[in-house]
Structures are given as structure tokens and as C-alpha cells.
Structure 1
Amino acid sequence: MEQHLKILMVDDHPMIIEGYQMTLVATKKPHQHLDIDIAHDCDMAFELIKKASSSLDSLYDVCFFDISLPASKDGLITSGEDLAKIAREYLPDAKVVILTMFNESFRILNIIKEINPEGLLIKSDLTSSELAEAFQHILTNPPYYSSTVNTFLKTTITSDIYLDETNRKILHLLSKGVKTKSLKEHIDLSMSAIEKRKKHLKLLFDVEDGNDETLLKEARHKGFL
């Protein structure tokens, strides 16, 4: 019986997406037909997700999201992680696959806690054969995690590094040059609540000098920006 699979791939590097496409098409099962849409930024991906959700015939079966993407023009969607959350809302039956260069253990754990993806692939682990294996595994028996992810999960029981959507928005706004005193114009919190969150973020990222620039540097290093 033929299996028609509609797929969304989101990555800001066209050559990488081309490689993913070629691998999946070359290694698909004989009964599988792949219909692949691509997007290179958050705005394009969001439009495709909304369009797909409007008809049962166009729903995506699998969505691949790179974590590091150009933010949407309105600044509300800042990463593949945000897109994955949107996909969960608009396409609840779609299988979500996250691809990332970041291999920090708490970054990986944060993705699992926030999204619980059917697939989590570390690009430095990824080969054509693993991508092919992961795709088929995700279709029939998710989740599929890269070896690096599995190693972290085996050795790490809990993690204190967990950033909710508000904390991530604070980091994003600070990185765009928004001053602390102006954050309340973008976030529905009191100034004291924002200051408390900033203090907590600096504790999480071991920022000893208390400077926002140091916080942003550490957040970038750990893959949160």
C-alpha cells in the first residue's frame, strides 16, 4: 500500500536542505512517496505551517526544524524551537524533528522538556545513513535521538538549566539592544519580576560580574541565542 508523506524542512542553508532531500528520496521505501516543502527562515516556515493546517489534504506528516534560524520580521519567532511549538499547535499529529549544532547537555535537555520532539539530531553526529535510519524510525517508532543525545540522557538525571518562553524572550530582547528598563514594554511583567528573572538567568549561566553582556555571551555560547 502506497504511503504518501508530506514533509516540511526548515534550514537557512540551502545546500544542507538539498542534502537532506537527496538522502530521504534516495533511501525511502519503495511504497513511500515524499512531498517535500522547504523554508529558509521563520516567516516562510510559519506561512507554510498555517497553510498546511487549513486543509486535511495538506497536513505535514514530519517537520524538520534547524534550531538556529533568522528571526521573523516581527521578532516573535526567534528560532526553530519556536517554530516547533507553533507546529505542535497547528499540526498536532505531525512528527517534529529538531536538528542542531548545539551539543551542550542542558541545551539538549531544554529542547526535550520544551518540545519533546519525535526526533533530536545533532548535526555533528549526522551522516546520510543516520538521517535515513532516523526518518524511518521516527515514522514507525519515535523518538529517535542522536548518539550524543542518548549519552547525555544516560548520564544526566536532572538539570537546573531550564528556560521558559519568557526567559528566552528576555534574552532575545536584550540581545537586540533593548534596555532592561524598556523590557516591560514588550513583556507583561512588572519591573521587579523582570529583574528577578534576570538575576535568575545570571545564576543559571554562572555570570559572576553581573553584566548583561556577559549573560548574553554565555547564552550564545550555550546555544540559547
Structure 2
Amino acid sequence: MQQVHILMVDDHPIIIEGYQNTLMATKKDDQTLVIDTANTCDAAHILMQKAADERPYDVCFFDISLPPSADGKITSGEDLAKISREIMPRAKVIILTMFNESYRIHNIVREISPDGFLIKSDLTSSELAEAFQHILVDPPYYSSTVSNFLNKSVVNEIYVDDINRKILHLLSKGIKTRSLTEYIDLSMSAIEKRKKQLKLLFSIEDGKDESLIIEARKKGFL
């Protein structure tokens, strides 16, 4: 028997229930699935640390939009996926998201190189089942929207690194620029420079932080 240890992270319990039911109903006869679930970054992080010490997960499903951790250090499923890569390098990482912005997709593929990348609006139960079995044996598996975006050359590819994502996240939470140095280990001039680059990147003509946040949200970076 093949025992597959799985972590599913999504802030909507009904979605997790759907995934679980699909995988259990379509698993192979020689497979036993052991599934843990989490609805927040904190809950997922605790399970991942425990698993890394005891029995690492074989497959981790991460939704991108999740309530951030209490200390603000983990802000999304993207961050959890990076942690998984560090502490459980052999675990297959599957990203599930509503975002279908080409910029966001390129960013995730570049930062994480997931073993599976599924857009929820593309997803049927049969595709989830097919993707899961495919990823166990021969990753990666990318759903049609992801494949289409990756096949197209994106002229204006926006690449936002970890620090810039953190700046956007903190600004969106109402943290003033002058206070950002308390959260990010950079000088004020370095932070200002990054904000200028972000405004150029997102074509913010009025120079306002509010406009930057609105545009970043539209493109799926928040």
C-alpha cells in the first residue's frame, strides 16, 4: 500500500471538504490518503513544523489568499509554500488560487516553481483527481489558464520580490511609510527607492500610495 500524507490549506472549510471528498473518491486501490487541514497561515505553519520533525508531508495544497499569521511574517499561501520548500524539500507543492492575472502567475512560478498550479475557476473534480495522480508520479501539472499564460510571452512582466510584497502588504494594512523601517530591515531611503520602483512597475501616475495599493490588489499581489 502507498500511504500519502497530505496537507490542505484553504480559508474556506467547504472547499477543503470538496477537495478531500474528490481525492478520497478517486484514489487508487493501493493508496491510503492521510489528510490534515488548516484554515490559516498559523495553523498550517504549526502542522508543517510538526510534520517536518516527524513524518514530512508528501503533498501540500496551498490556497494563495489566507489570513496572515499573528506576527505578520507569513502573509499568504505563497509564503507557506516557500517554507515548505525549506523544511520539507521532498514534499510536492500544489498552488490553488482564484487569481488568473498573468503577472501573479509568473511571479508564483518564478518564486516557487510549484509541482502543481491550479486556477480554481478552471477546476473540476475530475481535473483535481487527474492533477493529483499526475503530480504524485510525474510533476508538474499546470491547469489550462496557467499553461496559456506561461506559453505567452508577457511583455510587461511584473516581478515583485519578497521585500516589495511585504512593503505592499504593510501599506495595505495602513502602516505609514515612516514606520516601515520597524518592520523591514532596510533604511528609509532604500524603502523609498523600492516604493518608487513599485509605482513605476504598476504605472502609478498620481504617485499616491492608495493608487499603488489599488493597482497591486487588482493584479493579485495583495
Question: TM-score range with shorter-chain normalisation?
Answer: over 0.9
CA contact (8 A) 1:95 1:138 kept: yes
The question of 1:192 aligning with 2:189 is answered yes
User: Any idea what SS the aligned residue of 2:15 has?
Assistant: helix
Which residue of 169, 174, 178 corresponds with 2:175? 178
Q: How does 1:1-225 map to 2 (within 5 A)?
A: 2-55=1-54, 58-156=55-153, 160-225=157-222
1:139: how far off? 0.5
CA contact (8 A) 1:3 1:31 kept: yes
CA contact (8 A) 1:109 1:159 kept: no
Q: For residue 108 of structure 1, what is the amino acid of its counterpart?
A: I
Q: For residue 38 of structure 1, what is the amino acid of its counterpart?
A: T
Q: Deviations over 1:149-177 (max 9, x none)?
A: 11111112665311111000000111111
Segments ≥4 residues shifted beyond 6 Å: none
CA distance in 1, matches of 2:39, 2:200: 35
Q: For residue 98 of structure 1, what is the amino acid of its counterpart?
A: I
- Give the gaps of 5 or more residues in structure 1: none
The more displaced of 103-112 and 150-159 is: 150-159
User: Any idea what SS the aligned residue of 1:73 has?
Assistant: coil
1:70: how far off? 0.2
- Calculate the TM-score normalised by the size of structure 2: 0.98
User: Any idea what SS the aligned residue of 1:71 has?
Assistant: coil
User: Any idea what SS the aligned residue of 1:124 has?
Assistant: helix
CA distance in 2, matches of 1:38, 1:25: 14
- Give the gaps of 5 or more residues in structure 2: none
CA distance in 1, matches of 2:58, 2:44: 15
Q: For residue 80 of structure 1, what is the amino acid of its counterpart?
A: G
Q: For residue 41 of structure 1, what is the amino acid of its counterpart?
A: T
Q: For residue 106 of structure 2, what is the amino acid of its counterpart?
A: L
Identical residues among aligned pairs (%): 71
What RMSD in Å do the two structures reach over aligned CA positions?
Answer: 0.9
Q: Deviations over 1:157-208 (max 9, x none)?
A: 6653111110000001111111111111111111111111001111111111
Q: Deviations over 1:73-121 (max 9, x none)?
A: 1111000000000111111100000000000101000000000000000
Aligned residues: 222
The more displaced of 7-16 and 200-209 is: 200-209
User: Any idea what SS the aligned residue of 1:153 has?
Assistant: helix
Q: For residue 27 of structure 1, what is the amino acid of its counterpart?
A: T
